Amino acid sequence: MELRNLSFSSDGKKLRALDQTRLPGEVVYEEYDSCEEIVGAIKLMKVRGAPAIGIAAAMGIAVIAGKLAEECQDSRAFLEELSRQAEIIAQARPTAVNLSWAAKRMMNCAMGDTEGKPKEIAAKLKALAQKIYDEDTEICRKIAENGLTLIKDGDGILTHCNAGPLATSRYGTGLGPIILGLEKGMKFHCFVDETRPLLQGARLTAFELMNAGAEVSLACDSAAAQLMRSGAINAVFVGCDRVAANGDTANKVGTSTAAIAAKYYGVPFYVFCPSPTIDLSCKSGEDIVIEQRDEWEVAGLYFDRQIAPKGVKCVNPAFDITDGKLITAIVTEKGICLPPYEESLKNAAIRRL
């Protein structure tokens, strides 16, 4: 079963998105045509994963442009309102650079045609949004091919969070090599971190990998070090939401813990990302804003009652920073980047704006 998580609706006037909060129990698609709905879907993580958020932003801006073009014939007023709503979408979540990257690319296209009529600009934006989707599909395929050279048939691979097709357009980043390898007849034993508190590993990665035919074992996040110590893990594969110029990466909280354990036990730790995720303007992980989410996700989400004492304070950073010194390699569509990352990432970083 292949799930396409993002597309335009059948009439082309709405963003159609798979609600990832309902997985794995239900496969439900929702459609959005307003800034508020699109921002809500991103904030509530109905749409999640750095590349997917970028695609959703692009398609969402195209949908809003089409709607505004029906209501406004004045190009200046059209562009001003579109720019305002695009900025709101770009700020929906602060850590993943793909979101602001896609919004900026869309608005650069719109502002480059100030003499065009609103409907003409809207048509160009819709075509660009589809192009961004198609580009991501090709990027993921190349990342998968590059990553597949790092593992061999029968390897045990640890994953954290979700970096598969649901987080991108197809194949995924961190799961791409595994899924491509399975398509080629290879076999892997995938150890999937639950990824507390939102359980992206348990709900999404296990779902995707089982769907692809992999042998899957779900594990508590705290079991990762013991699995490495036992020799069951040959490599760790993770995605990321932002890569700094020095190779520091931001990914779902718990990633740095796995990286530290991997370094200690001599297990290769690989980060997978499309080139738009590389942010050379960000010198190090210290410059990356870490999103802080609601305390309730820690104390009560996915439980039938609150599991912690009433009134206890919770901390809930959505991401953590993995030091570049802990990362064996960063895999992009342009190749495999090795330390020193200050040099290798320059060649991989591209911006189509």
Active site positions, annotated: 241
For residues 194 and 204, what is the distance between their CA atoms, to the nearest angstrom?
10
C-alpha span between 156 and 150 (Å, rounded): 12
Return the number of other C-beta atoms located less than 10 Å from residue 343's C-beta.
10
Q: Residues 260-276, buried b or exposed e (16+ Cβ, 10 A)?
A: bbbbebebbbbbbbbbb
What totals of helices (H) and strands (E) does the chain contain, helices first? 12, 14
Whether the CB-CB separation of 256 and 322 falls below 8 Å is answered with yes
**Per residue in 158-193, is it b (16+ CB within 10 Å) or e — as a string?**
bbbbbbbbbbbbbbbbbbbbbbbbbeeebebbbbbb
274-133-3 Cα angle (round to 5): 100
* Sequential DSSP letters for 299-344: HTTTSSS--S-TT-----BSEEEE-GGG-SEEEETTEEE-SSHHHH
Q: Both tokens of residue 119?
A: 């409907």
